[in-house]
Structure 1
Amino acid sequence: MVKYVLLFSIFIALGARADFESSIKDHEDIGTQTLLYLVKNRDVVKSNISSEDKLAASQALSTSILSWEVSDGVNGIETGSFILLGWKHHPNIVASWFNRNPNSLSRWLKQQDYLFNGLLGEYDEVEALRLDIIKSLKGSNLENNISSASYLEVLEDLEVPQY
């Protein structure tokens, strides 16, 4: 399974998990709180996004997208990894949001090199994720769906780095 870079793992490596959580738990910023929620509930969020329950997937994706919208750097990779999972399992749900937010779609498309470079794991795992998303996009309704069609084009041209 692909291991994702995330701010949380950096703090664990530094032995500062409790400090990280306590330093942001009282912030009254929705981006900070959604990031904290994703970090603390990573497995549940991933399970909900991967499930066939569209309501659970939509709720988890909404939180992930909101957090991605206000994230950058490592946090953008972390939150983006949840959105990648959404494209794989529920491309029409993710596309419905990006279709309504063209500026966010543009930002998403421009970040794919950065995002796929930031995913940690074996080359074969990351490449398999890219190919799974392409397959999912091709199986979705691309007609009148500019975000899915645009994303498919970007992913087909993307080269996953081999380290």
Structure 2
Amino acid sequence: MLRFRQAEPEDWPAIWSILEPVARAGETYCWDTTMDEAAGRLEWFPGPAGTDPSLRVVVAVDEADGRVVGTAQLHANRGGNGAHVANASFLVAADAGGRGVGRALAGHVLEEARAAGYTAMQFNAVVQTNERALALWSSLGFTIVGTVPGAFRHPGVGPTGLHIMHRVL
């Protein structure tokens, strides 16, 4: 069973333990694969506190052992006249993959986005080779509205596309 809550500063070591291997692998996010912990923290909690009032960072906690097994950030995709569309990023601990953590976390974040008044959610850069993410987002009603060819340098397959995905909330 999972419990979702706002991330607290003391969650950072657990979040970093999930984020770091994803960053190092360089297969699913447009992040510097050599980022250090400070850069990782700025990626997940950008700017000084309160800089982006739309930013919400949540964690998924396994109630069996109290361990953080996933995290997500939710925020406006753009500001101003684009602020009604949400954007989100998701991370799941490698040893929690395949247990439905990502799907449950996505459901929670979609509900939070609706409750916050967003009318849609957009992902700006879903790596074309990330089949698990594509299957999850498609099953949750997201569609690919465009692809930027060769925009991602995958370490194993070389240049591949970045999909832009969207769904109405």
TM-score (norm 1): 0.36
- Give 1 or 2: higher strand fraction: 2
- Give 1 or 2: higher helix fraction: 1
TM-score (norm 2): 0.35
